[in-house]
Structure 1
């Protein structure tokens, strides 16, 4: 019987349960999607193609990405502007710290202009 599909077969399918499990576990453990895919010998394209085509995989990947993000955020010192800016943390301690740091810089910039002129 002839293959009616054109091109190469997909590199990642829902039938490949072992690789999907490994990918999701790595992402949930804090590894980025790109690095986790590279560990399995994949680029981002097959991962995101499967995410686009399969709702179950999309939901599982979303949960894994969120879990991985919270795992990466655990050892971070909260309540600093750098955590807000560099890590994207929007917790109740980092948001006011970033606002205070910005206000301090604005105040310093205004004071510097007034005294120089």
Structure 2
């Protein structure tokens, strides 16, 4: 079964070749989503998509790997890792954990990404 977080990482992976691929995040995020991304925090769908656009522009491309587990309360948790090239063409990598809560409509209402290495 594909979860909202599986779809999230699929969309983020698509940004390496075409930033318009990130438009799909607008359908995935709740209107009032709270995004906590490795120290940055924004509220609102447009701001959350904007953060992802800024991150994608700062890279020449990246690929994510991830695992997802559904908790009894419906929360999705897991690990992620990213490898790719920064804007200067240097190899870069990072890894961390995530927690996501879904709203009643199945959209991501809270996404907390933490960095554990990178």
Fold shared by both chains (TM-score > 0.5): no
Query: Bigger radius of gyration, 1 or 2?
Result: 1
Higher RCO structure, 1 or 2 (CA under 8 Å, sep 6+): 2
- TM class by shorter-chain length? under 0.3
- The structure whose residues are more often strand, as a share, is 2
- Structure 1 or 2: more helix by fraction: 1
